[in-house]
Structure 1
Amino acid sequence: MRAEEGFQINAFEEGNPFLSDPVLPGLLKRLLPAQIHGDISKDCERLGELIQHKLGTLGLVADSPVLTQYDQWGKRIDRLQTSEGWRELKAVCQKEGVPAIFYEHQYGQHTRTYGFVKAFLLMGHTYTAFCPLSMTDGCAQTLERLGTDEMKKHILPRLVSRDPTNAFTAGQWMTERPGGSDVSRTETYATITDRSDKYGQIYQLNGFKWFSSATDSEVAVALAGTGDANNGSRTLSLFLVPLRKPLFPQTGDAAPSSTSNGIKVHRLKGKIGTHTLPTAELSIENAESYLLGTLNEGVKNILPVLNITRVYSAISSVGHLRRCIAISTAYSRVRAVEGGRTLLMDSALHVEELSKMHITYRALVHFVFGVAHLMGKVYERGGQGSGEDARRLRMMTAIVKAFCAELTAPAIEQAMCAMGGAGYMEENHIGRLLRDALVERIWEGTTSVLGLELARAAQDGPTLASLVSWAKFSLQATPSSLATSLREPLAHLERAISLHNLFASQPSPFLLRPLLMLTGYMSSAFYLLEHAIWSEDATDIAVFQRWVTEGGLVGAIADVEAAAKRAPERGDENAGIVYGPRLAISKL
């Protein structure tokens, strides 16, 4: 029998990703004022049509980058060639206004919600183009706060341009070989020169950056030491680094060489996923750069960049899941089983499994856009955020990034399995989406690293109180009629709130990860509760109830309670299990 003869599986249609989404239209209606909601929904519907009908072809030509380090005469050239698809996908995002929207300030405190929902819809189709674009947003935010007048006049407009032929992208150079996420062990140092230009005093940077995920960008923000190395992060400063000189060539001049500012690409990284993204190891030799902000306050000055990129990371995780769930759900509408008599969508067993993925998806979408809305209140012009909002945002950015990354990959695997063998095929994109989503568990801090950061933030009494008071207010806002039917999940949430007193004293290492996960489950549940109270919809109420009682919060409570009882000797036991009894450590 020829392949085109006999039984043929019906093709499925993902549909318009905005109109077919089970969460976004209703969520935006709640979060946005009526007039703004109308404008943004119309634009998202148009974007959904673009994604549905045009973006797929660009993915066909989105290939891995190629690095040529030497020409035929042995001259170092470091020519990086990215694929046509990668460049065009970045261009689509820039034309759609990411990150431009955030600096046009059209909708005041709702601007972040607007820009992030467009990024969210694009995430599953743009092959990690938002990695450099998120860092570009962070760089623009830094220049808006700390840049010189000339930087704001010449460089900032390029970073936020909607014209891809004119737009800059930016990198974020922090990770180094000695410390990974521990920036205090930097090998990169800055030396002031006696030269300056219109952008400021010129420094020279020397060092080595182990991960650079925007190697094809025009500029980068980088941390470098400016004092005694023994003082660690207290002597780090933040710099703006042009990747090539001159940054603005004269019309008609040849493009500056890739090594013109002393930056050399040691090698491209061979990664599990994000194959189209040029990630490299960089050698920095006397690269000219400019100080951003106050000397020796680099960690403080880069925090807004980290907050922004962590929210992008969370949105990327859930955006990848969005497409995988859309694919597996669409497949259930066309795939027949039981001798062709029953569609998967009519199989109670199959729909039960799909519903579990959908509940996770709904919880994560409400969580990420709850944090995006909070960020808009704190960061954007016209924002109504209070000091308490800013403190809660400090905790939420670490939580939402880690929590979404942890839950996304298993849910994507479920979406793959829901399609059987078809889900394992590369043509359906789930494999690529899974590989690309996995990086979010590492990029911008692993869950363990972010657990440490969350614990440090919680040591500040008002910061922890801002989270607890928000949670208690959400409980108290539940109407009595609804509270009666939701007695069990609300009791679990009360217990979860009470466990946050474990942050008050320095928690043991065994508590950090369980506490972070519990806070993620609790926070996402309260965002679901807010929406259920607003909508009074039976499905929204059921999603909240099942998320709390079946989705993992009860188990997270048990994990925290068990971790709180663990004796210090567990550290020795762990070392013996992993390394053997002779290498067991005597202390944590």
Structure 2
Amino acid sequence: MDGVDYTDYDRGRYCNYWELDRTLQRELERIYPNDEFGWATSRLREFGAVVGHTIAENADHADEHGPELRTYDREGNVQNYVDYPASLKETERLAYEAGVVADAFEAPPGRVEPLSHSHYFGMLYLLSYAETSGFVCPAAMTAGVAHVLELFDDGDLEAYYEGLTSRDHDDLIEGAMFLTEKQGGSDVGAIETTAEYDEESDCWRLTGEKWFCSNVDAEGTLALARTPDAPEGTAGLSMFLVPHGDPERGALTKGDREAFDGNPPAAVLNRQRYRRLKDKLGTTNVPTGEVEFEGTKAYLVGQKERGFEQMAEMLNLERLSNAVGACGIMGRALLESKIHAATREAFGQPIAEFPLLQADLVDMAVDHEAATVFTFEAVRYFSERERARRDGEEAETAAKMMRLLTPVAKLRTARMAIDTASYAMEIRGGDGYVEEAVTERLLRDAQVLPIWEGTENVLSLDVIRALDREGAHEPFAEVVQAYLDTVDHPTLADAAETVESEYHDLLSAMADLAGRDEEYAQLSAKRLANYIFDVFTGALLLTQAQTELEAGNGRLALVARRFVERELASHDARGITDGERFAVEHFDVIVKFASVGPDTPAEDGD
């Protein structure tokens, strides 16, 4: 058949996720700089196969047999030993040695320069097809810590940076960030952990409690603390790297730890206590615990009292990682739904032939497209800024756009992933609710996405700050208008007119909020963030559809029009009386990627 025949698959495993995800292929080809995409395609294809076979199977096993913490040894000494299942250890080795983190920081074999951060996010997306929010979290935090050290370390922590960016598992150091404290939560300025300099040991010593620490036994953890006489609030926070091992013995790597018979002895470890692991709804593959610092040795990262700024840099990468992970979950949920719909029969025919399910799958596919194009446009701006920074240049527009789009991407895609995973479970019926089906794990793991790295409320307020304090509204307006100016194909005319109208209303809303009191601005912040997503995504889909139409492909025009009609257009009687049969007429094109020329969307629009 034309397009993807999902009857060839029994379920969304033992397949190559890269080859099946044509949306990801298109987006990465669009945003990779220079010749990178052509060079990286083979790595992406190889990783897609590894994730679709070995890592997908490991993820299900590790979800049932997750990490276990043994805080004390038999003599009562603190050992902080996290025992991992062999399946998770294999996933860890496969992912890091495939370059999921390393390729964006150190030149992979065959290149003289690292790949852009776009490649890191593309690899993380593929990983999230199988590991959803479990192992994706440690990988993302490892990249985040490497990012912070690249930006702010003066060279004293080079051994840790080399470990974080290693593609040799034995030399690897994983990263984490212990930020949340029981009394503070999202109020970072309320952090009470203190740091005192120890001249004898030539390091800092941290004292305090961290309440929600994912990847609890990472070899290189970032933590915020307050030095003596530092001011209150966020201005007084400094960033520290806390090694898992005693830093006087050098950086403790994965290979060093595995060389011991069991856990390294207490004398080899840094002084801290992992009290317990959290019993969580999902993400059981990543150990999340409570940590007590007890004069724990640490190294200052960069300058004192710059910790909040450094944390914000890591959050940009982490929030985009969160959004990319959400898109990957949506992709896996959609794949499982397509396969089930194609292979499950009811009343004598595949359930994919029923109009209601066709409409649901079309809209799930459109949601996946929308989330992915928005997120990877934010990724493109992040990558452009980082490439410019490495070259000693500035990229002001990219920086402002990244600051605005990143919290919006994280906010919207997290909710979309939950909805998509939930409906994927419903499509499978009762079987989708039991542990043998991956859909229940997708939903459990997706549920953390609105919480990690800032809730929807926190992110909405960050959108307001990006507009007011950093002037992000100006490049945003210019970029959206530039998108719309490229759209002149007749089949896109009605949708473009709708987006253009909503775009001007959005700019008016931004201007109105700028003149309002702070209370009202906060009340409207979440609605504004979602409005930004809808308008920007509509414009971006239309300009991409224009390009595709010029190349003879009409599929994305159908996707763009469906998104605009659903999210931005108004309908009498909620569209019930308009006679529209879009989902039935274009099911094969949107869901199965059947080929379609530029004339079909035009005929549909007549």
Q: Give the structure 2 partner of residue 194 of structure 1.
A: 199
Q: Deviations over 1:165-191 (max 9, x none)?
A: 220001101110111011111120111
Residue pairs, 1:156-167, within 5 angstroms: 156-167=161-172
Deviations 1:523-556 (A, max 9, x none): 322332231122113221121122122136869x
Match of 2:514 in 1: 504
* RMSD (CA atoms): 2.6
Once superposed, which parts of structure 1, at least 4 consecutive aligned residues long, lie more than 6 Å away?
107-110, 249-254, 552-555
Amino acid of the structure 1 residue aligned with 2:266: S
Picking from 251, 256, 270, the partner of 1:261 is 270
Aligned match of 2:140 in 115, 130, 134?
134
Structure 1 residue 402 corresponds to structure 2 residue 411: yes
Is the deviation greater in 487-496 or in 390-399? 487-496
Alignment partner, residue 519 of structure 1: 532
Give me the whole-angstrom Cα distance separating, in 1, the residues matched to 2:214 and 2:89.
15
Q: CA deviation at 1:108?
A: 6.9
Counterpart Cα distance in 1 of 2:400 and 2:466: 9
Equivalent residue for 1:280, pick from 279, 285, 289: 289
Partners of 1:458 and 1:35 in 2: how far apart? 34
Determine the structure 2 residue equivalent to 1:92: 94
Deviation at 1:227, TM superposition (A): 4.5
**Contact between 1:417 and 1:423, CA under 8 Å: does it hold in 2?**
yes
1:17 paired to 2:17 = yes
Conserved in 1, the CA contact under 8 Å of 2:245 and 2:252? no
1:543 aligned to which of 559, 575, 591:
559
* Alignment map for 1:14-413 (pairs within 5 Å): 15-32=15-32, 35-62=35-62, 63-104=65-106, 111-126=116-131, 128-152=134-158, 154-195=159-200, 201-228=202-229, 231-245=232-246, 246-248=249-251, 255-257=264-266, 260-338=269-347, 340=348, 342-380=349-387, 381=390, 386-413=395-422
Matched residue SS, 2:240: strand
1:388, 1:466 within 8 Å by CA — same for their partners in 2? yes
Alpha-carbon distance in structure 1 between the residues aligned to 2:30 and 2:442 = 29
User: 1:107–1:321: structure 2 CA closer, same or farther, 3 Å change rule?
Assistant: farther
Q: Number of paired residues? A: 540
> Cα deviations across residues 448-471 of structure 1 (Å, max 9, x unaligned)?
011112212221263222222222
Q: CA contact under 8 A between 1:318 and 1:364: conserved in structure 2? A: yes
2:583 corresponds to: none
Residues 489 and 159 of structure 1: is their aligned pair in 2 closer, same or farther, counting only changes over 3 Å?
A: same
Contact 1:124-1:433 within 8 A present in 2 as well: no
State the alpha-carbon separation in 1 of the partners of residues 33 and 151 from structure 2.
28
Q: Which residue of 1 aligns with 2:484?
A: 475
Question: Structure 1 counterpart of 2:171, which letter?
Answer: N
Which stretch shifts more, 102-111 or 291-300? 102-111
SS in 1 for 2:166: coil
> Secondary structure at 2:151's aligned position in 1?
helix
Structure 1 residue matching 2:539: 3-state secondary structure: helix
SS in 2 for 1:208: strand
Partners in 2 of 1:464 and 1:482 — Cα distance? 30
- Provide the residue aligned with 2:502 in structure 1: 492
Indicate how the Cα distance of structure 1 residues 451 and 168 shifts in structure 2: closer, same or farther if over 3 A, else same. Answer: same
SS across alignment from 2:362: helix
Residue type matched to 1:103 in 2? F
Superposition deviation, residue 382 in structure 1: 5.3
Q: Secondary structure at the match of 1:417?
A: helix
Deviates more, 1:41-50 or 1:245-254: 245-254
Q: Structure 1 residues 552 and 124 mapped into 2: Cα distance closer, same or farther (>3 Å)?
A: farther
Q: Which moved more, 1:83-92 or 1:263-272?
A: 83-92
Q: 1:249 to 1:309 in 2, by over 3 A?
A: closer
Offset from partner CA, 1:266-315 (integer Å, 9 cap, x none): 11111111112110000001011111111111101222111111111111
* Deviation, structure 1 residue 500: 2.0
Q: Quickly say closer, same or farther: Cα 1:89–1:532, change in 2 above 3 A.
A: same
Query: Unpaired runs of 5+ in structure 2?
Result: 1-8, 572-606
In structure 2, distance between residues paired with 1:107 and 1:124: 30
| Match in the other structure for 2:544 | 531
| 3-state SS in 2 of match to 1:266 | strand
Following TM superposition, by how much is the alpha carbon of 1:522 offset from its aligned partner in structure 2, in angstroms? 2.2
- The answer to whether the Cα contact below 8 Å between 1:366 and 1:527 also exists between their aligned partners in 2 is yes
How far the C-alpha of 1:107 sits from its partner, in A, is 9.0
Q: Distance in 2 between matches of 1:460 and 1:249?
A: 41
Query: For the Cα contact (< 8 Å) 2:104–2:114, is it kept in 1?
Result: no
- Structure 2 Cα separation of the partners of residues 157 and 75 of structure 1: 31
